[in-house]
């Protein structure tokens, strides 16, 4: 398995198939015996910005930090992963995961105030 | 630490010559007894060849069209694989150093995980 | 009946793609200036867009993922980001043109200035987005767009010399007074207007909105192989009647009224009514198609929940972006920037970005991890590579030809 080929930029969904985001980077940790393991998926513009690198990447991370007030990317520990396939499936539903702040903000402040926002269009 | 730090690192061989940038990382995937995924880094692909790796023509499951495949693999012909136990990684310097010589290193497609 | 209605996505996509404001004016303009000498370009475009739409549709039904989702995985993060920014801008620019297009068609009917119609069209687009079920949208605008077949029937009515027409189509020649560079300039304009990037994204996303799965692969294919030829037939119809009615009189096409003129000659008031009805439906369909495609690509790139068929609260960022794009497009349209100019820019930029749109689709359609045994066969790959060469050549030739011909004068 390869990180770039099989993990990075993959779509992540929750237990019920709802969109969580894309894998923008991976958190890795060194063990005492010198081996290095992937410990978490990292999501969000801060993670993506650091991966893109250069001035563009830094500005992406900067904008994201200013918006959310939190410079760290969303972290999903590897223990929360159910399946690593075409799509990465997590063990828990969205509301139990440390993600989705941007979506919730837009939902509360932009969409819900509009009439009919909760009606199904089918 | 982030994988991005490794992907932005440059590799140097035993003679101190630059081999190229790390463009992909090979992992060993296993499951622990209690159902958790384990992903251990076992090596890196370096040098000119990111496009073949990324699009899936090298080490991936993309086979056609034949002419595109030939083009991608030709563009990736100088890529090299270094096993994790053959290298030292300095995250702060963004450097990967190996004692081996660039010419002895296998192509990522030919390499067994341990090099 | 259900089977017929199941074709609505293909027909809607094709009519929106082949009969948008750019096509409507270009087809008539080309027919009046070049006769039937560029009909072959439409045939080429139909085959090309069908090839890539089939791939995108196959990926969507087998993997359940729209093609842009997978594009990000197969190109580097920098390239994918560049791709999505450019796609969004081109789609949004095209949206501005289409908004003006519907407004211009309504101006034809009502003598009310088109700028006054633009906000009304945008409000209708909002209502369709917010309230109208996805399948109703396809059916109403796609099937009403079939009224454009009046152009095809008008060909018969104008009583042409069929032998001469066949010869003009199969042995095209540049008319006297037109240069070869201008001929190829318009060939590229027409190819770009008919093979637009948003058609493929929309069809692939639409397949996912319909929740088609692997068992509906045949449905997806029928949609493609019936829808686009219908679009092509309509485009050829418009070229043909322009050639029959306008070329002999030396009429140049500069606005929408002249596109409709041949149908007026053939069928009088009934013809005009049907033509304008079809034009309003088709251009409004394009409004929805380009509007949704803009936010589809962004949402799919960043992994947001998306879908017109979903409740707005279930896909908040996607919906918010769609509304924002609509409002911004109205703003740009109201600057009274010439709609024909906007159309030409959007067609040009679309043509220039086509290679970047198609390469990842071709790669994804060959990936066994995604499609298993449903990867491209020899035919799909053969056509895929040929068309990649065609669109790349067109993209490279576009700017030089624009300069040489001074914009097709």
pLDDT, position B115 = 43
> Which of B54, B56, B68 is facing C367, going by the closest CB pair?
B56
Return the SS3 of A36: strand
DSSP characters over A88-120: EEESS-GGGSS--HHHHHHIIIIITTSTTTTS-
Domain that includes residue C223, residue range: 2-404
A11-33 pLDDT per residue, tens: 999 999 999 999 999 999 988 78
Which helix (H) or strand (E) covers residue A61, if one does? helix A54-68
pLDDT, position A2 = 87
Q: Do A111 and C320 touch (CB under 8 A)?
A: yes
Closest Cα partner for B2 from C304, C97, C175, A27? A27
pLDDT range class, residue C288, cuts 50, 70, 90: very high
User: Does any CB of chain B come closer than 8 Å to the CB of residue C384?
Assistant: yes
Output phi, psi for A113, to 5 deg: -60, -20
Other Cβ atoms within 10 Å of C306 Cβ, number: 28
Which helix (H) or strand (E) covers residue C353, if one does? helix C339-364
The Cα C125–Cα C213 span in angstroms is: 29
More confident site: C46 or C175: C46
As for how many domains chain C has, the answer is 1
Size of interface B-C (CB pairs under 8 A): 39
Which ranges in C158-255 belong to alpha helices (H)?
Answer: 162-170, 180-194, 197-209, 217-241
pLDDT, position C79 = 85
The Cα C290–Cα C309 span in angstroms is: 16
User: Does any CB of chain B come closer than 8 Å to the CB of residue A27?
Assistant: yes
Closest CA–CA distance from residue A91 to any residue of chain C (Å): 18
pLDDT, position A55 = 80
- The CATH number given to whatever domain includes residue C394 is 1.20.1740.10
Closest CA–CA distance from residue B16 to any residue of chain C (Å): 28
> Which of A12, A86, A103 is facing C316, going by the closest CB pair?
A103
A71-114 pLDDT per residue, tens: 678 899 999 999 998 899 999 998 888 888 888 888 888 888 88
Beta-carbon contacts of C284 under 8 Å, excluding residues fewer than 6 positions away, are C102, C121, C124, C125, C141
Output phi, psi for B100, to 5 deg: -70, 160
Output phi, psi for C178, to 5 deg: -115, 140
With respect to residue C409, please indicate whether it lies within any of the assigned structural domains: no
The Cα C381–Cα C387 span in angstroms is: 10
B46-95 pLDDT per residue, tens: 988 888 888 888 888 888 899 999 999 888 888 999 999 999 999 888 89
DSSP characters over C94-158: HHHHHHHHHHHHHHHHH---HHHHHHHHHHHHHHHHHHS-HHHHIIIIIIHHGGGHHHHHHHHHT
With respect to residue C153, please indicate whether it lies within any of the assigned structural domains: yes
Q: Are C138 and C148 in contact (CB under 8 A)?
A: no
Chains that touch A (3 or more CB pairs under 8 A): B, C
Other Cβ atoms within 10 Å of B73 Cβ, number: 16
Domain that includes residue A30, residue range: 3-111
Instruction: Give Cα B54 distance to the centre of its chain.
Output: 11
Q: Do A28 and B1 touch (CB under 8 A)?
A: yes
The Cα C139–Cα C6 span in angstroms is: 9
Please give the share of chain B, as a percent, with pLDDT higher than 90: 32
Chains that touch C (3 or more CB pairs under 8 A): A, B
> Which of B3, B38, B60 is facing A5, going by the closest CB pair?
B60
The two structure tokens encoding residue B3? 């994988």
- The CATH number given to whatever domain includes residue A62 is 2.30.30.240
Q: Are A70 and A100 in contact (CB under 8 A)?
A: no
> Which of A3, A34, A53 is facing B27, going by the closest CB pair?
A3
Which helix (H) or strand (E) covers residue C357, if one does? helix C339-364
pLDDT, position B31 = 92
As for how many domains chain A has, the answer is 1
Closest CA–CA distance from residue C358 to any residue of chain B (Å): 13
Size of interface A-B (CB pairs under 8 A): 83
> Which of A1, A2, A50 is facing B4, going by the closest CB pair?
A50
Q: Do C370 and A86 touch (CB under 8 A)?
A: yes
């Amino acid at each position: 398995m390869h990180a770039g080929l099989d993990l990075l930029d993959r779509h992540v969904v929750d237990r019920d198939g709802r969109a969580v985001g894309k894998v923008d980077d991976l958190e890795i940790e060194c063990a005492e015996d010198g081996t290095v393991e992937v410990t978490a998926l990292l999501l969000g513009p801060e993670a993506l910005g650091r991966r893109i690198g250069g001035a563009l990447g830094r500005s992406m991370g900067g904008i994201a930090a200013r918006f959310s007030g939190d410079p760290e990317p969303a972290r999903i520990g590897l223990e929360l992963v159910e399946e690593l396939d075409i799509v990465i499936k997590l063990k828990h539903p969205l509301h139990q995961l440390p993600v989705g702040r941007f979506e919730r903000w837009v939902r509360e402040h932009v969409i819900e105030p509009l009439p009919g926002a909760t009606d199904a269009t089918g | 630490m982030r994988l991005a730090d490794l992907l932005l690192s440059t590799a140097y061989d035993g003679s101190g010559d630059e081999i190229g940038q790390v463009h992909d990382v090979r992992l060993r995937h296993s499951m622990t007894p209690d159902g958790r995924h384990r992903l251990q880094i076992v090596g890196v692909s370096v040098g000119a060849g990111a496009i073949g790796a990324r699009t899936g023509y090298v080490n991936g499951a993309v086979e056609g069209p034949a002419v595109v495949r030939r083009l991608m693999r030709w563009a990736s012909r100088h890529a090299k694989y270094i096993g994790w136990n053959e290298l030292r990684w300095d995250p702060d310097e963004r450097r990967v150093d190996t004692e081996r010589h660039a010419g002895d290193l296998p192509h990522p497609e030919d390499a067994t995980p341990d090099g | 009946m259900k089977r017929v209605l199941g074709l609505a996505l293909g027909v809607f996509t094709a009519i929106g793609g082949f009969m948008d404001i750019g096509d409507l004016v270009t087809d008539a303009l080309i027919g009046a200036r070049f006769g039937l000498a560029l009909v072959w370009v439409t045939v080429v475009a139909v085959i090309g867009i069908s090839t890539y739409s089939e791939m995108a549709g196959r990926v969507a039904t087998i993997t359940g993922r729209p093609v842009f989702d997978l594009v990000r995985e197969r190109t580097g993060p920098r390239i994918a980001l560049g791709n999505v920014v450019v796609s969004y801008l081109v789609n949004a620019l095209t949206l501005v043109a289409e908004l003006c297009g519907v407004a211009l068609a309504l101006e034809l009917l009502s003598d009310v200035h088109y700028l006054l119609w633009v906000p009304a069209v945008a409000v209708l687009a909002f209502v369709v987005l917010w309230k109208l079920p996805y399948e109703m949208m396809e059916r109403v605008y796609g099937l009403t767009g079939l009224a454009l077949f009046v152009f095809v029937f008008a060909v018969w009515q104008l009583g042409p010399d069929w032998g001469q027409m066949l010869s003009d189509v199969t042995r095209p020649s540049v008319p006297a007074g037109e240069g070869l560079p201008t001929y190829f300039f318009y060939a590229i304009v027409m190819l770009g207007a008919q093979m637009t990037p948003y058609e493929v994204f929309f069809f692939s996303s639409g397949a996912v909105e319909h929740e088609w799965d692997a068992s509906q692969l045949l449905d997806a294919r029928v949609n493609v192989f019936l829808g686009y030829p219908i679009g092509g037939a309509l485009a050829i119809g418009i070229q043909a009647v322009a050639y029959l009615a306008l070329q002999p009189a030396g009429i140049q096409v500069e606005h929408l009224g002249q596109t409709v003129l041949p149908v007026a000659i053939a069928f009088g008031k009934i013809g005009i009514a049907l033509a304008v009805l079809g034009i309003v439906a088709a251009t409004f369909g394009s409004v929805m198609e380009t509007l949704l495609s803009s936010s589809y690509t962004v949402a799919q790139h960043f992994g947001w929940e998306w879908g017109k068929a979903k409740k707005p609260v279930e896909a908040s960022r996607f919906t918010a972006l769609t509304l924002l794009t609509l409002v911004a497009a109205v703003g740009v349209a109201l600057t009274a920037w010439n709609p024909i100019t906007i159309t030409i820019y959007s067609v040009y930029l679309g043509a220039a970005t086509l290679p970047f749109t198609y390469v990842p689709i071709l790669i994804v359609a060959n990936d066994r991890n995604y499609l298993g045994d449903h990867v491209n066969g020899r035919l799909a790959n053969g056509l895929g590579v040929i068309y990649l060469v065609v669109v790349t050549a067109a993209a490279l030739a576009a700017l030089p030809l624009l300069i040489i011909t001074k914009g097709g004068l």
